[in-house]
Amino acid sequence: MKIDRFVKTTLVVIAVLLALNCATNLHSPADAQSTSIKFGHANFQGDISLPGGRIGKAVVDLRNGNAWGFPVNSLSNDQPLDVAPIYLGRFKLEAMDNVPDQK
């Protein structure tokens, strides 16, 4: 009989604590939070040929249209890839706002 009383008491305590937990979450729900992505404005493209015959990856900065190339064929066996980007040019993204007349 003592085990039965212990089990019932434990279940009542669990139920009360669970109800308190639900009540506090209903009273003041947690605010939604997001993490900012540091380079979310960068659009990474596929392989391209860079000046000097090197192979690289193209990256377009969607904030201003600048295109950059990152050489990737200078990999050594034990050295990490740490290269400076090469400026390739600029896409005039603002020109997309000027719709030509459709006649």
Whether 102 is covered by a domain: the verdict is: no
The pLDDT value given to residue 15: 96
Whether 56 is covered by a domain: the verdict is: yes
Per residue in 13-40, pLDDT (tens digit) is 999 999 988 887 776 767 777 677 788 8
Whether 66 is covered by a domain: the verdict is: yes
Local confidence band at 77 (pLDDT 50, 70, 90 cut-offs)? low
Print the domain residue range for 79: 42-97
| pLDDT value at 1 more than 70 | no
Whether 31 is covered by a domain: the verdict is: no
The pLDDT value given to residue 79: 65
Which residues have CB under 8 Å from 68's CB, separation 6+?
58, 59, 60, 61, 85, 86, 87, 88
Q: Closest Cα to residue 40, out of 16, 72, 62?
A: 62
Whether 72 is covered by a domain: the verdict is: yes
Q: What integer best gives the mean pLDDT of the chain?
A: 82
